[in-house]
């Protein structure tokens, strides 16, 4: 009697159960769920793998529909059930950001924008920001050549402004106690200045406003290059922690998402809106919100993006509620 080779299935062999197929897909689903739920456990050693994962964490959810399609093709009940796990974890982490309920009432409107040092239309960019009628406008990547154009375009609506290095703040209310915030990492030469702090004298009282632009990060052979960004975030966090005024608003390009543990010195002291992804970069096809509005002793009610300008970032607008309990 001839023997069947072990890798051949006989005509009378029973098909595998849907619960026995798709074990690899099920394992991948569990892995995705684990990365979403326990992303802080991913080591952040030399290559900064943890920060890289957290910078794009919401996009990990795209693995769910991909695995779903493969599970349906494989006719695997096991994989379909396993996919409920990453879907539930993603919904728990980010589902609330999708629940838009319209604009929440706010006391102040602010706009944050990295205008790009290659912006060919600074006057048009400034005019676009004025159209939204914010109380405060924070700008980064200001250049000596473009600065006069921004000042001319904004001066009528915002008679009070301060510039330190490449960052600036324009206000409808008087400014005082303006000073540079030193967030320069070691190894960067003189002339690098990307932080300022000012007291804004509003009708509701004094407000400490910080404008900051943290160093860029790079993805290369050595991993996620965030050392300088993280050092700058630490310095900014120290400045925020030492702030004497109770109510603080931070507007800035922090060069990562708020999930990134490298921004913990800042995110542990301030809060942001709980709704809306509002991806701001890159302007042509936004995949990440690295431009932020955060606050202490006040509530950032909503964050949304404005129309594109001549920058590679989208402007970000936010409502600030002075009374968190309202």
**pLDDT, tens digit, 9 for 90 and up, residues 7-32:** 455 555 567 787 878 999 999 999 99
CB 194 within 8 A of CB 214: yes
Q: Give me the pLDDT at residue 132, please.
A: 94
Q: Count H helices, E strands: the chain?
A: 9, 13
Which of 17-21, 112-116, 131-135, 207-211 bottoms out in mean pLDDT, i.e. has the lowest?
A: 17-21
The DSSP call for residue 95 is: G
Average pLDDT, the chain: 90
CB 158 within 8 A of CB 171: yes
Q: 49 versus 37: which is more confidently predicted?
A: 37
**Would the pLDDT of 123 be above 50?**
yes
User: What are the structural domain ranges in the chain?
Assistant: 23-98, 108-321
- Express each pLDDT in 158-188 by its tens digit: 999 999 999 999 999 999 999 999 999 999 9
pTM, two decimal places: 0.85
The DSSP call for residue 106 is: -
- Express each pLDDT in 136-162 by its tens digit: 999 999 999 999 999 999 999 999 999
pLDDT (mean) for 249-264 = 95
Q: Which fold has domain 108-321?
A: Deoxyribonuclease I; Chain A (3.60.10)
Distance CA 62, CA 9 (A): 36
Which of 71-75, 118-122, 131-135, 215-219 bottoms out in mean pLDDT, i.e. has the lowest?
A: 215-219
Residue 318 binned pLDDT confidence (cut-offs 50, 70, 90): very high
- Express each pLDDT in 38-69 by its tens digit: 998 998 876 778 888 888 899 899 999 999 99
Coil, strand or helix at 238: helix
**What's the Cα-to-Cα distance from 15 to each of 80, 81, 164, rounded to whole Å?**
19, 20, 71
Contacts of residue 153, defined as CB under 8 A and 6 or more positions apart, other chains included, come to: 122, 123, 126, 127, 130
Q: 103 versus 326: which is more confidently predicted?
A: 103
Of the candidates 317, 248, 304, the one whose C-alpha atom is nearest the C-alpha of residue 276 is 304
Q: Give me the pLDDT at residue 48, please.
A: 79
């Amino acid at each position: 009697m001839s023997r069947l080779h072990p890798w051949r299935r006989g005509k009378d062999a029973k098909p595998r159960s849907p619960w026995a197929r798709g074990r690899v897909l099920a394992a991948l689903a569990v892995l995705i769920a684990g990365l979403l739920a326990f992303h802080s456990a991913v080591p952040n050693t030399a290559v900064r793998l943890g920060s890289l994962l957290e910078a794009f964490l919401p996009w990990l959810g795209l693995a769910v529909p991909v695995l779903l399609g493969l599970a349906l093709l494989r006719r695997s009940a096991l994989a379909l059930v396993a996919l409920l796990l990453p879907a539930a974890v993603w919904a728990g982490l980010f589902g609330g950001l999708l629940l838009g309920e319209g604009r929440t009432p706010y006391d102040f409107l602010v706009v944050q924008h990295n205008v790009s040092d290659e912006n060919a239309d600074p006057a048009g960019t400034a005019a676009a920001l004025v159209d939204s009628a914010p109380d405060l406008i924070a700008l980064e990547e200001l250049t000596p050549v473009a600065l006069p154009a921004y000042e001319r375009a904004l001066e009528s609506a915002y008679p009070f402004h301060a510039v330190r290095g490449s960052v600036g703040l324009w206000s409808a209310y008087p400014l005082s106690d303006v000073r540079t915030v030193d967030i320069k990492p070691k190894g960067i030469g003189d002339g690098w200045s990307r932080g300022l702090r000012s007291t804004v004298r509003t009708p509701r009282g004094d407000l400490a406003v910080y404008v900051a632009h943290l160093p860029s990060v790079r993805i290369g052979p050595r991993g996620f290059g965030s050392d300088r960004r993280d050092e700058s975030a630490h310095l900014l966090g120290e400045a925020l922690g030492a702030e004497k005024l109770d109510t603080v608003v931070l507007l800035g390009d922090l060069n990562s998402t708020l999930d990134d543990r490298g921004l913990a010195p800042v995110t542990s002291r301030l809060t942001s809106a709980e709704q809306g992804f509002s991806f701001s970069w890159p302007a042509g096809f936004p995949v990440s919100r690295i431009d932020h509005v955060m606050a202490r002793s006040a509530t950032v009610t909503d964050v949304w993006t404005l129309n594109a300008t001549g920058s590679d970032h989208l402007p970000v607008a936010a409502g600030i509620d002075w009374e968190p309990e309202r």
